[in-house]
Structure 1
Amino acid sequence: MFKKKLAFVALAAVFAFTACGNGGKDSSKSKEESDVVKLGNSGPLTGPLSVYGITTENGIKLAIDEINKAGGINGKNVEWTGLDDKGEITEAVTNYNKLMQEGANAILGGVPSKPTLAMAESAAKDEIVYITPTGTQANITEGKNNVFRVAFTDPFQGEVLANFSAKKLAAKKVAVLRNQSSDYSMGVADVYKKKAEEFGMEVVADEAYGDNDTDFKAQLTKIKSSNPDVLFIPDYYEKVALIVSQVRASGINAIIVGADGWDGVLSVLDKSAFKDIEGSYFANQFSLQDPSEKTQKFIKDYKEKYGEDPSTFAAEGYDTVYLYKQAVEEAKTTKWDEVVKALKAIKFEGITGSFSFDENNNPRKTAKIIKIDKGQYTFDSEVGAD
């Protein structure tokens, strides 16, 4: 009898957790009757990647403040829960489960690609509306009907930057220096290398380093001997800041090109090192020099609220909330399946550009090319993949 009671209690607990944690159709329907819209995310709010998580969340909270002041979403106030995962997969999944248990209407999920992918895989099973502001790894959305992204993908950046290297920089020979410990860096580098060859450029070197490396002399010596016109370094800004001075010290004069992880590199470089990164380019989805009224208002409001200029991550977070708002208003409900349908058909105009989604729920958009000129980020051009 005691064992039977234990089994019954355990079964009841599993049922309760599933009904609450998975947030399936019944949970979504019950949330429709609430007078609030619950949104949440897990991101790195502490640790080495915290600048990305904090600025993403700042952009999200600015959008929510604006929306609530204007009457909410379909007349409902928006509540926000931001949880810290330090950029770690295990903590991200734990936070995802907590948000599900709390009855989230949608998760604006993840910041770095690895924890974002882990949460996206859970979200695909639960069928909740899941939109990552910044996750760029290609397989985050692939095969997941309800998972979307605002950022362009790693492969897309590789294509755009190869196009830019060939047509704008007129490069004949390119070298690649990649972080073999990073799916992000590897993903961008693989596509860049493939597209570079398709554009008729010669890939004269392809060198790799690890996350914990601080001395790149061996790799750079090989790259120097190949005499490239462009050196492509797709990594996050902290690692780029370590590398660029060593690039110039090694005698490499190539133009350095990077991906959107470069955003913020000037903030961690000593001004004496600005000369080492002068004239470099990187792809991004946002520029402080964008003259549009909507963008300039966002920049002004963000600076007034947080005391600093917004990063691309902040702009992506901001756009993600308004993207969700538009989808809910077009669907006239917060029911997950209906919002997913609305997102698939949406035409959205945001701070990071105007876009609709392709068959893999990736945004079709161009990239903004940012040039580092006299210690400042300057808008250079807008470039597509072809």
Structure 2
Amino acid sequence: MLWEGLLVKLSKWMVLLTVLLLSVALVAAGCGGGDKAGDQKAAEGEKVITIGFIGPLTGDVKTFGESTKNAFLLALEERNYKVGDFTIKTVTADDRNDATEAVNVATKLITQDKVQAIIGSVTSKCTIPISEVANGNGVVMVTPTATNPAVTVADGKLKEYAFRACFIDPFQGTVAAKFALDELKAKKAAILFDQGNDYTIGLKDFFTEAFTKGGGQVLATEAYTDKDTDFSAVLTNIAKLDIDVLYLPDYYQKVSLIGKQAREKGIKAVFLGGDGWDSSELDFAAMEGGYFTNHYSPEDPRPEVQEWVKKYEAKYGAKPDALATLAYDATLILLKGIEDANSSDPAKIKDAIKALQNFQTVSGSITYDENNNPVKSAAILQIKDGKQVFVKSVNP
């Protein structure tokens, strides 16, 4: 009986020890993607602020996710994961450029990881639903690159916690149209766009409005889906038209396919597009001679640009694209907001960001308008001799 009693007591202690070990494991699992230094500082009683990152780390635009994540981490490393009195903890999530997955990961970051702010996402189709989740939960969100107006304003109502580091599609579409009219002397255009993508729809609409208002004609507007890979039918029809420019407002993977097939169909029009072209995986041969609107150029001689290019190259072995640059800027904007607010309270942080005046970033000076959009310039780049060439800057 004595041995049975000892065994019972020993069993109870083993159960308690197992529960304790499982609890420790679950806590550790909950910190997945977190910064180890930040976790240790929290254990020592330091004040911690948790920042989430969301981007397409896999999927059809994974180079965008890689660039933005690299820049996000570089900005934090430069600050030694500190801002004011706070140690920064990070949690990273992959939205795969899928709107449903974007909502899922944003919800997890907010409800489970308890982030106070989010950097991301990259594309408008993911960032628009993320902004709804973040704003509804009172969590600050700064997207580096989502250019659709609906990221910050929906049905005429401002999402107070949603900000961006980039210009918006009305400006980008208008710049492209004016460049086509004034610089390329284009009179007739055709447009191909993804009917399920807010980004391409917006650029299509704003380009069309500005191009026709300036005296140009859009002879064809053809829709496709994100799953389409064969554009023969619509390009055959467009090849019969006498157009000067073919506007392709989509991401690098899709426009590369369209551009190659368009040339095979004998279309000689100048290709024109938006910032979604900016990737090392663009088919430079197919898109040769084309122009696109972008947020910056690594050839810009401004000292802040050249310093940025140098340190990014030193860290990652490649020149930073506009996606990386804007992610770096978005992170600086958020850190400035935290610093000025001297608080981890998202309500105070968003007020501090809103109040920024002429805040200097790599891509330009940031002052927010009434819709939480920065007023800033755009760059025109050309695909020439297998690389991107800076053409000019365009002010608002």
The normalised TM-score by structure 2 is 0.83
Give the AA of the match of 1:351.
Answer: V
Q: Pick from 88, 107, 119: which aligns with 1:108?
A: 119
Q: Secondary structure at the match of 1:226?
A: coil
Q: How many residues align?
A: 347
TM-superposed CA distance for 1:213, in Å, is 2.0
The separation in 2 between residues aligned to 1:213 and 1:60, in whole angstroms, is 32
For residue 307 of structure 2, what is the aligned residue in structure 1? 297
For residue 90 of structure 2, what is the aligned residue in structure 1? 80
For residue 73 of structure 2, what is the aligned residue in structure 1? 61
Q: Is the contact made by 1:278 and 1:373 (CA closer than 8 Å) also made in structure 2?
A: yes
Q: Is the contact made by 2:248 and 2:273 (CA closer than 8 Å) also made in structure 1?
A: yes
The separation in 2 between residues aligned to 1:231 and 1:85, in whole angstroms, is 31
For residue 56 of structure 2, what is the aligned residue in structure 1? 44
Q: Aligned ranges for residues 113-262 of structure 1 at < 5 Å?
A: 113-142=124-153, 143-262=158-277
CA shift digits 1:310-360 (9 cap, x unpaired): 121111110111111222222232322222122122122111221211111
Q: Is the contact made by 1:113 and 1:136 (CA closer than 8 Å) also made in structure 2?
A: yes
Q: Is the contact made by 1:39 and 1:106 (CA closer than 8 Å) also made in structure 2?
A: yes
Q: Secondary structure at the match of 2:80?
A: helix
CA shift digits 1:3-39 (9 cap, x unpaired): xxxxxxxxxxxxxxxxxxxxxxxxxxxxxx9522221
Structure 2 gaps of 5+ residues are: 1-44
- Percent identity between the two aligned chains: 39
TM-superposed CA distance for 1:103, in Å, is 2.4
For residue 385 of structure 2, what is the aligned residue in structure 1? 374
RMSD of aligned Cα (Å): 1.9
Q: Secondary structure at the match of 2:250?
A: coil
Q: Aligned ranges for residues 304-315 of structure 1 at < 5 Å?
A: 304-315=314-325
TM-superposed CA distance for 1:373, in Å, is 1.2
| Residue 263 (str. 1) matches residue 278 (str. 2) | yes
TM-superposed CA distance for 1:268, in Å, is 4.4
Give the AA of the match of 1:216.
Answer: F
Give the AA of the match of 1:234.
Answer: P
Q: Is the contact made by 1:157 and 1:283 (CA closer than 8 Å) also made in structure 2?
A: yes
TM-superposed CA distance for 1:106, in Å, is 1.1
Larger Rg: 2
Q: Is the contact made by 2:52 and 2:91 (CA closer than 8 Å) also made in structure 1?
A: yes
The separation in 2 between residues aligned to 1:62 and 1:45, in whole angstroms, is 17
The separation in 2 between residues aligned to 1:267 and 1:186, in whole angstroms, is 23
- Stretch moving more, 206-215 or 357-366: 206-215
Q: Is the contact made by 1:162 and 1:192 (CA closer than 8 Å) also made in structure 2?
A: yes
For residue 26 of structure 1, what is the aligned residue in structure 2? none
TM-superposed CA distance for 1:149, in Å, is 0.8
TM-superposed CA distance for 1:379, in Å, is 0.6
TM-superposed CA distance for 1:244, in Å, is 1.1
CA shift digits 1:46-73 (9 cap, x unpaired): 222221111111110000000127xx21
TM-superposed CA distance for 1:141, in Å, is 0.5
Structure 1 gaps of 5+ residues are: 1-32
The separation in 2 between residues aligned to 1:185 and 1:93, in whole angstroms, is 20
Q: Is the contact made by 1:41 and 1:96 (CA closer than 8 Å) also made in structure 2?
A: no
Q: Aligned ranges for residues 321-332 of structure 1 at < 5 Å?
A: 321-332=331-342
Q: Is the contact made by 1:235 and 1:258 (CA closer than 8 Å) also made in structure 2?
A: yes
The separation in 2 between residues aligned to 1:349 and 1:170, in whole angstroms, is 35
The separation in 1 between residues aligned to 2:340 and 2:79, in whole angstroms, is 16
Q: Secondary structure at the match of 2:292?
A: strand
CA shift digits 1:123-165 (9 cap, x unpaired): 1111111111122222111020111111222222111111111
Q: Secondary structure at the match of 2:299?
A: coil
TM-superposed CA distance for 1:372, in Å, is 0.9
Give the AA of the match of 1:149.
Answer: R
Q: Is the contact made by 1:141 and 1:147 (CA closer than 8 Å) also made in structure 2?
A: yes
For residue 10 of structure 1, what is the aligned residue in structure 2? none
Q: Secondary structure at the match of 2:167?
A: coil
The separation in 2 between residues aligned to 1:168 and 1:327, in whole angstroms, is 40
The separation in 2 between residues aligned to 1:97 and 1:277, in whole angstroms, is 39
The separation in 1 between residues aligned to 2:163 and 2:341, in whole angstroms, is 16
The separation in 1 between residues aligned to 2:303 and 2:119, in whole angstroms, is 26
Q: Pick from 340, 349, 352: which aligns with 1:339?
A: 349
The normalised TM-score by structure 1 is 0.85
